[in-house]
């Protein structure tokens, strides 16, 4: 199975040496795609330097900054052009350990369509996070479970996930290339809720989140993200075999 690791980046100059180190001997990934989304620091320069020692690294770079959901969608498109089988997405801030990727890919091979590195299952842990940030991710997942309830899913808002590429391809084809409406971090939740309408098999592996390893500043805009979550729960829902979800976007429906 051809596996791509998509790394969305906005001003991650400090994290790039750590990412380079943690992927250097990683055999479970065939291609690394860094999506540099209008960074204003030396992210692009650092990526180019990394590329001189990492032949698997591809760079997708554009300006101005368009937000995490667009960067993920652009990464998906690029990945599908490369005809990969599995797309793994992860934060580029050194808080997610690449060691989980092998287990996530294995689960896809065994039949899962989406695998979540979850903060809310037995064996997971979170260190270095403020009580408020812990509450936010726990509260977001509780809220989503209350309104949506997707089988096998407890962590709705993590960006550390593996997707079967054919599922993403089908979603993009059926939605006219547009997967999410949000341009803030709630788009990470929205993406999952819309993919859910295709009845994917979803499973989770426990994540040990090491927030104390974070060197870059957090880009989460908390109020905007909370408003984004509320907007999601207010939308019309559909029921699929995977649970209560959001419909895929169409060209003239569900757009802002």
Shortest CB 219 distance to Mg ion, Å: 8
Rule CB under 5 A: which of 41-80 touch Mg ion? none
The smaller minimum CB distance to Mg ion, of residues 35 and 248, is found at 35
Rule CB under 6 A: which of 217-246 touch ligand GDP? 218-220
Provide the token pair at 151: 């089988």
> Which range touches ligand GDP (CB under 6 A), out of 8-16, 170-178, 191-199, 234-242?
8-16
Q: How many Å apart are CA 42 and CA 40, to the nearest integer?
A: 7
Q: How many Å apart are CA 107 and CA 127, to the nearest integer?
A: 26
First to last CA, the chain: 37
Judged by CB under 6 A, does residue 144 bind ligand GDP?
no
DSSP-based helix, strand, coil % in the chain, nearest 5: 40, 20, 40
Judged by CB under 6 A, does residue 150 bind ligand GDP?
no
Shortest CB 153 distance to Mg ion, Å: 20
Shortest CB 249 distance to ligand GDP, Å: 20
Task: Quote the DSSP letter at residue 247.
Answer: P
Q: How many Å apart are CA 240 and CA 23, to the nearest integer?
A: 37
Shortest CB 256 distance to Mg ion, Å: 26
- Alpha helical stretches, state H, 52-112: 68-81, 101-109
> Which range touches ligand GDP (CB under 6 A), out of 49-57, 86-94, 230-238, 242-250?
86-94
Tell me which residue of 149, 141, 142, 153 sits closest to 113, measured CA to CA: 153
Tokens 């250097």 belong to 24
Number of residues located near ligand GDP, criterion CB under 6 A? 18
Q: How many Å apart are CA 184 and CA 225, to the nearest integer?
A: 6
Site string for ligand GDP, 24-63 (x = CB under 6 A): -----------x-x--------------------------
Question: Which one of 91, 155, 184, 204 is in contact with Mg ion (CB under 5 A)?
Answer: 91
Q: How many Å apart are CA 188 and CA 151, to the nearest integer?
A: 18
Question: Which residues on adjacent β-strands are paired with residue 88?
Answer: 5, 162
Which of ligand GDP, Mg ion, none does 193 bind, CB closer than 5 to 8 A by kind? none
Q: Which residues bind Mg ion (CB under 5 A)?
A: 91, 93, 95
Judged by the rule CB under 6 A, the positions of this chain that interact with ligand GDP are 8-10, 12, 35, 37, 65, 67-68, 71, 91-93, 95, 159, 218-220
């Amino acid at each position: 199975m051809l596996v791509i690791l998509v790394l969305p980046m906005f001003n991650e100059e400090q994290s790039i040496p750590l990412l380079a180190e943690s992927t250097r001997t990683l055999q479970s990934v065939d291609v690394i795609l860094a999506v540099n989304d209008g960074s204003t620091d030396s992210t692009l320069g650092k990526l180019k330097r990394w590329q001189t020692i990492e032949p698997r690294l591809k760079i997708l770079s554009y300006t101005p900054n368009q937000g995490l959901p667009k960067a993920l969608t652009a990464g998906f498109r690029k990945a599908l052009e490369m005809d990969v089988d599995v797309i793994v997405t992860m934060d580029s801030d050194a808080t997610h350990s690449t060691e989980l990727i092998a287990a996530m890919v294995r689960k896809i091979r065994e039949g899962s369509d989406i695998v979540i590195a979850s903060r809310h299952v037995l064996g997971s842990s979170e260190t270095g996070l403020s009580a408020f940030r812990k509450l936010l991710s726990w509260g977001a997942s509780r809220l989503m479970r209350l309104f949506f309830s997707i089988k096998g899913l407890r962590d709705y808002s993590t960006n550390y996930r593996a997707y079967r590429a054919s599922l993403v391809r089908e979603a993009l084809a059926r939605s006219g290339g547009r997967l999410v409406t949000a341009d803030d971090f709630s788009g990470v939740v929205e993406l999952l809720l819309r993919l859910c309408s295709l009845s994917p098999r979803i499973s989770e592996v426990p994540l040990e989140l090491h927030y104390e390893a974070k060197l870059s500043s957090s880009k989460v805009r908390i109020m905007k993200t909370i408003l984004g979550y509320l907007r999601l729960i207010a939308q019309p829902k559909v029921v699929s075999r995977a649970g209560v979800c959001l419909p895929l976007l169409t060209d003239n429906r569900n757009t802002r």
